[in-house]
Structure 1
Amino acid sequence: MVDRESYNEKPQEHLNKSTEAILNSSLPTHEKRQVLMQASLLAGLVHDEVLIKRIFSEVENMINIEESSTYRLIIERGERKALSEALIRLLTIKFGELSPTYAERIQEQELTALQTLTDKIFELDKLEDLEKFLH
């Protein structure tokens, strides 16, 4: 049971205790990674970024959180979003305003397709050339 008063007054202490409890639990390592990732995501909803980084960066080093499938999915989603936004900006510079259909199709692409399109962007002569790269 969470003591709400101590949680609000001493969030760092509460998060430290929570992460220690997870790390010291009898869960297998892969489950600890997932629980810690979920705890980090939830804590990020109510606490500032500095506190979350301080607490969970130590934890990440201890359990190599990069091996977590949840972590990898979040990273890939971020890469896809960033790459699709960059491509839309570059294509807009090159060809003018994109139709909403093209923008949506770009945002729906898998990471590898976005990477390929990024590599080939200078080979596009007209907007319709995008068709051979969009699935």
Structure 2
Amino acid sequence: MRKVINEIREVFERDLLMKNIHFIGFTCMGRIEGDLLGKIALGGTAIRVSILDRTSGLVDEMKFYISDVIGGSVDEYGKYVQPSLENIDGSSWWNCKMEEQNYQLITDALNGYLEMFQSEVQTQEAKQRFGMARDIIY
């Protein structure tokens, strides 16, 4: 389980458009801007992203299917599978090979969503910081 969590943590801490990121298992929380927080929960074939206001609660929520973002994959037996994060009895693994490029596609999709809740100034600063030359819309 540690290896998978560490891979996800490393990519999210480096590339997500949130500050003060904290992890609890497969859930990541961080500050988007002002009183807005982002909550990202990974599980199974999907990633659920919630935007929360510290005073009024849920602002918006979106569910990304991993296969919609990175495409399908082939498992170790040559069979087509939907990418999925498996977690049984404290052990976690991907049901297919995940590479840096896959994590980057996931992070880009998440950032595209998170950007909608940032000010224009913060979005431009993030694009300069991360070298994002294009707008990402899925």
- TM-score class, shorter-chain normalisation, is under 0.3
TM-score by structure 2 length?
0.24
Highest RCO, 1 vs 2 (Cα 8 Å, sep ≥ 6): 2
TM-score by structure 1 length?
0.24
Which structure has the larger Rg over C-alpha atoms?
Answer: 1
Give 1 or 2: higher helix fraction.
1
Give 1 or 2: higher strand fraction.
2
